[in-house]
Structure 1
């Protein structure tokens, strides 16, 4: 016994060790030798004040890319091919004109001068006001602003850099806007591992960007500042006359912006290539104690629920069965208490199941007194109706099928992320791989949907397959398409291109639909319906009045709070990564995996307890109730989304707010579908167990 406990503890501790979520950086390492040109890619602008991002190369104040440079297989001005995840997150990656040569420092280099009209300057001021930051990429590393921890013991990176600054000379005066038209690029490198290092090759381990605003005047003939180290005035974004350079209020006034940059290469012997992303995660590492608190909180809640479920199984239900066996039932007829000890009950249970005999007793009406009825109450009374097909079963079956599809996708993503196969260096990988897993899981969706549908007595399995393949994906696609119209109107890179929309439709109808059909046909024809141990009565039993806590809305809220309490702390970090940092570089997937496993167990246990209490109240409409209870924590999560918007975020603008709430609602709906399916399957297994699997040999 002690050996088993030690072995179980060792396995659990090994599983918790995964909470550090090691990182697999990639298959190949890109090395550079001195004098080799390094491409710099410009991507997009994003802000924590808005849900809209914009392609950097399409902004009005940016130098048009000339296309004059060729770096390896890349030509400046060319757009890179993007995967689905990159497109959905608003990436628009383009090769820039910036020239970076490994090992060559450039104190100042001229890029271009770009004239911006009045409308473009107004747009520039709006972007600076909303706190937009730019994302550039070198060797798959996002350009970062460097900071120090509060104790100044470590440095960490925040992806992106500001495009400008908003300055207020006094509270009563309007703000002034200064554009950062000079960047200092610091490329940190390390000796390449293995033979490449012996040949003098290097790998890039850091990419820092330090922006600066420098006035347009006081420049040399080459367009460079006369003294780049001592700049007193920045470039204020206001329209000026082309002839005098003074402020001009006319509509045709413009501003010519000169762009320059500096490049420095610095060796970093402490940071190796495989650990180069650690600098982006220092701030998250400092919060590891809070992650452990989340796990302990989840374990306590789940442990208490486990005790409740154990009591239900171990004492209440088994006690009911024992009382039945001691009642001396024989051939379906009850015996009075005076003669209980004259016969053995075993004979009667060899012929029929326990609950079949209870049905005979109830049907024949031969119970002699209230004293003999005291054991035939609660969940035992509804045995003749508990497996009655639910109303709208043709809708519940497709929902359960789609839920299993999401469950497969979520489990696959979580496993791949925990083991580091999916990581921040795989840009857009989570969405792309998730979409692939979802489409492939159409087989499981069709299979489970068809089996549930046939169990409910459905006959039109082709119709069920079509509904399963189109209901949830169709609702999500329609919602995304409508929201995309608003984003298109804002000229944001977050808008999905028309070709991508067509590709998604083709993936949906030409790949997923056939897979759902194959799984559905196999599930309906080969798998068939699940058999129930008890046949439903012809006439439904009347349900008595329910207690206040058993009424649908109250029961849903009460049951949903417990799973929400399990994931609340970890959910805070996910929200921060998605909506505050805007980098999407959440990587504590080990912690998330542990919390997710506890969440699944909690949903199962909550649904079982809720179903048992419902059956004890003689309410046999548990099919839909179990599904809704399983997904009920999504109500609390959406409430948390609303609270987070008003207390933590600084989002402004109708379109950004619309996108936030709509996508938040869709995410909660997907979560409800997934956990609702878990609850439904758990409740179904529980009901089959207590009504059919307990027999006396």
Structure 2
């Protein structure tokens, strides 16, 4: 016990150190007059394509003879940050009159690059004392914004910085562009440009602790808060209606069933079983609660063991999500205590990688314990599937998208060294913990205890109407949970795939809990209706119905991309649909597991409450 506590404490210390390391460049953000302040240029890219970003000096700005790169953390690299020392001198409390960075004659190719960037609404991002700064490269005049052909294109050649400070600390920084200080890039010809900048320091009484509040004000505005709380109220109403449905309708039906299925002893012989009691011998038979697709393949391939494949795959599907799920829970906890403040470079990705690696033992434990509970034997096979069912598709998606990013030469492409680091983490931390968890899980569980006797051979399932098929029930099961979260989805998408900042993690946590509750209730209701029609193959059905919300979320991705965003281009489209497919797949696994677990508790309860001969 003491050893495990020490390991857990050590992991928390390492995680906190890694997160804290990316929060600041200066030790305490205190400066004396004339001190040099850390100033980094980060990246440039189209405003509407957040994944398509390039290094700052990929555009022909005034670059020094030797570009000084900042040593970046793992999370910063995963976030696509590529920081270099900016070509400006903004010492603390030193005003700068307009002065030249460099005088440059732009070639025809360089003019074409800048003109393309301006027409695509390129912006650049910098960090001054860890405060983010944004600015646009230029402007263009066109009557038709969707077709800027023939527009007059202007490049800003002067940048003015306004820096707010309080005593010895920097509070805020702004970029002002003079619309008159521009260079006309409309024609394909060489032009001379004198890139200049200036700076003005302004004293303010805003305390240092509140300098990041403005980045979260968008989420905290009264209008947005009303919409957020409307989303929560909408979700709560959905839960109340659903629980009311279960309490009034379903429980009344169950009460009548209990009365019917527990007759007097004199009438037992004359009582003909029907409904869900009639199939009590098949409900807990793992052999026949099969996945139809696997069963079809196994019937065609005689040498394939259906029982082994179905047991292993079902156990892996139920337990593979424990690693990402526990990671999400820990991320929520860190977010609620304020670790992930706006533009805390790379902290979220650093925490996600470390927590995912450290919680892999949980997935291994639950995978092996559940597999052995349903009479599995090959614990190595279940661990291999558990370690690859989620990370495998994620790995292949990453390989494809990283290749696309390399072809576009964007900052989204991970360097080889970072890929090696992630591989070593997976090899030296994730995999050993997965195996250790699996060993502990297989030694801690007893056999599956069904509340009633199970049959060796299954009963025949009666012919059912189309609306009781798997696909129809998946559509019904996914709609209600999705309706409880769809309003909040827009703000999440606008934050992940846009430039809005999401900081109301408490509301997000409430919506997440409501999503789990609604999924559990809907799956329980549909499982009862399935058993009432004497269809005993509920194991896979409950998992698929619970996870169907993930399919609805991916459908919302299509709507958001084409109707609510201005994203375009092959790279951005690939990144959006590729990574969202992995996220929705994770939701499918997580909610499917919630649905099955809730259905299992419900089914065990109702069959334990009646006398089954």
TM range (shorter): 0.7 to 0.9
Q: Which moved more, 1:592-601 or 1:520-529?
A: 520-529
Q: For residue 56 of structure 1, report the CA deviation from its aligned partner.
A: 3.7
**Aligned: 1:135 with 2:125:** yes
> CA contact under 8 A between 2:106 and 2:193: conserved in structure 1?
yes
2:345 aligns with: 427
CA contact (8 A) 1:447 1:524 kept: yes
Instruction: Kindly provide the CA deviation profile for residues 398-457 of structure 1, in whole angstroms up to 9, marking residues without a partner as x.
Output: 122211112111111112112212222421222221222222221111111112222332
The alpha-carbon deviation at position 531 of structure 1 amounts to 2.4
8 Å CA contact retained: 1:465, 1:520: yes
Partner of 2:182: 234
Asked if structure 1 preserves the Cα contact closer than 8 Å seen for 2:477 and 2:522, the reply is yes
Counterpart position of 1:31: 30
Q: Is the 8 A contact 1:302 1:601 kept in 2?
A: yes
SS in 2 for 1:494: coil
CA RMSD of aligned residues (A): 2.4
Q: 1:449 to 1:107 in 2, by over 3 A?
A: same
Q: Secondary structure at the match of 2:384?
A: helix
Match of 1:63 in 2: 62
Q: 2:195 aligns with which of 259, 265, 273?
A: 259
Question: Can you list the C-alpha shifts for 1:110-149, whole angstroms capped at 9, x where unaligned?
Answer: 2123444333322222221111111111111101xxxxxx
Using structure 1 for the length normalisation, give the TM-score. Answer: 0.77
Q: What pairs with 1:682-697 in structure 2 (closer than 5 Å)?
A: 682-692=598-608
Taking the aligned partners of 1:212 and 1:259, their CA distance within structure 2 comes to 12
2:552 and 2:493 mapped to 1: Cα distance? 14
Deviation at 1:312, TM superposition (A): 6.2
Asked whether the equivalents of residues 261 and 610 of structure 2 are also in contact (C-alpha less than 8 Å), the reply is: no
Helix, strand or coil: the match of 1:209?
strand
1:299 equivalent in structure 2: 236
CA distance in 1, matches of 2:56, 2:498: 24
Q: What SS does the aligned partner of 2:539 have?
A: helix
Distance 2:603 2:77 in 1: 45
> What corresponds to 2:9 in structure 1?
none
Instruction: Say yes or no: does 1:278 pair with 2:213.
Output: yes
Cα distance in 2 for residues equivalent to 1:669 and 1:84:
25
Tell me which residue corresponds to 2:7.
none
Alignment partner of 1:395 is 2:313: yes
Q: Deviations for 1:228-280, whole angstroms, at most 9, x for unmatched residues?
A: xxx4x6212257xxxxxxx64xxxxx4443211111111221x3222222212
Matched, 1:162 2:136: yes
CA contact (8 A) 2:50 2:498 kept: no
Q: CA deviation at 1:311?
A: 3.7
Q: How does 1:349-498 map to 2 (within 5 A)?
A: 367-368=269-270, 372-373=271-272, 376-389=273-286, 390-391=289-290, 392-498=310-416
Distance 1:625 1:138, change over 3 A: same
Following superposition, the deviation at residue 579 of structure 1 comes to 2.2
Distance 1:301-1:117 versus aligned 2 partners, 3 A rule: same
Asked if 1 retains the 8 angstrom alpha-carbon contact of 2:171 and 2:208, the reply is yes
Cα pair 1:298 1:567 within 8 Å, conserved: yes
Computing the radius of gyration over CA atoms, which structure comes out larger, 1 or 2? 1
Report what 1:88 is aligned to: 78
| Alignment size in residue pairs | 564
Q: Which of 109, 114, 130 lines up with 1:124 in the alignment?
A: 114
1:182 corresponds in structure 2 to 158
Q: Give the 3-state SS of the residue equivalent to 2:283 in structure 1.
A: coil
Aligned counterparts of 1:118 and 1:496: Cα–Cα separation in 2: 31
- The 1:401–1:486 alpha-carbon spacing in structure 2 relative to 1, beyond 3 Å, is same
Measure, in 2, the Cα distance between the counterparts of 1:173 and 1:322: 77
Matched, 1:670 2:586: yes
Which structure 2 segments of 5+ residues have no match? 1-21, 291-309
Which one of the candidate residues 551, 557, 564 is aligned to 2:482?
A: 564
Using the alignment, how far apart are the partners of 2:604 and 2:545 within structure 1? 18
State the distance in 2 between where 1:629 and 1:436 align.
32
Q: Indicate whether 1:644 and 2:564 are aligned.
A: no
Task: Deviation per CA, 1:134-186: give whole Å up to 9, x if none.
Answer: 1111111101xxxxxxxxxxxxxxxx211111223799970122122211111
How far apart, in 2, do the equivalents of 1:49 and 1:640 lie?
19
Q: 1:618 aligns with which of 534, 543, 555?
A: 534
Q: Give 1:295 shift.
A: 0.8
CA distance in 2, matches of 1:618, 1:533: 18
Cα distance in 2, alignment partners of residues 29 and 305 from structure 1: 52
Residue 455 and residue 502 in structure 1: after superposition, are their counterparts in 2 closer, same or farther (change >3 A)? Answer: same
Which of 169, 174, 186 aligns to 1:203? It is: 169
Distance in structure 2 (CA, Å) of the matches to 1:621 and 1:652: 44
Q: What SS does the aligned partner of 2:390 have? A: helix
Contact persistence 1:100–1:263 (CA under 8 A): yes
Q: Quick one: structure 1 residues 503 and 544, their matched pair in 2 at CA, closer, same or farther if it must change by over 3 Å?
A: same
Alignment partners' CA distance in 1, 2:423 and 2:388: 11
Deviation digits for residues 319-366 of structure 1 (CA, Å, limit 9, x no counterpart): 4334444x123xxxxx23xxxxxxxxxxxxxxxxxxxxxxxx7xxxxx
2:597 aligned residue: 681
Cα distance change of structure 1 residues 463 and 129 upon mapping to structure 2, 3 Å threshold: same
TM-score, with length taken from structure 2: 0.87
Distance 2:63 2:594 in 1: 53
For 1:176 and 1:39, how far apart are their aligned partners in 2?
36
The one-character-per-residue Cα deviations of 1:84-113 (angstroms, maximum 9, x if unpaired) are: 332222111112231112211112122123
**1:505 is the counterpart of 2:423:** yes
| CA distance in 1 between partners of 2:256 and 2:336 (Å) | 43
CA deviations 1:647-667 (Å, max 9, x no partner) are 121122222222222222222
Distance 1:625 1:65, change over 3 A: farther
Is 1:190–1:267's contact at 8 Å kept on the other side of the alignment?
yes
Preserved contact between residue 69 and residue 85 of structure 2 (Cα < 8 Å): yes
The change in CA–CA distance for 1:398 and 1:430 in structure 2 (over 3 A counts) is same
Q: Are positions 1:574 and 2:564 aligned together?
A: no
Of 615-624 and 390-399, the range deviating more from structure 2? 390-399
- 2:264 pairs, out of 328, 342, 353, with 328
Query: SS at the partner of 2:127?
Result: strand
Partner secondary structure for residue 29 of structure 2: coil
CA deviations over 1:55-92 (Å, ceiling 9, x no partner): 4433232111345xxxxxxxxx3322333332222111
Alignment partner, residue 69 of structure 2 = 79
TM-superposed deviation, 1:679: 1.4
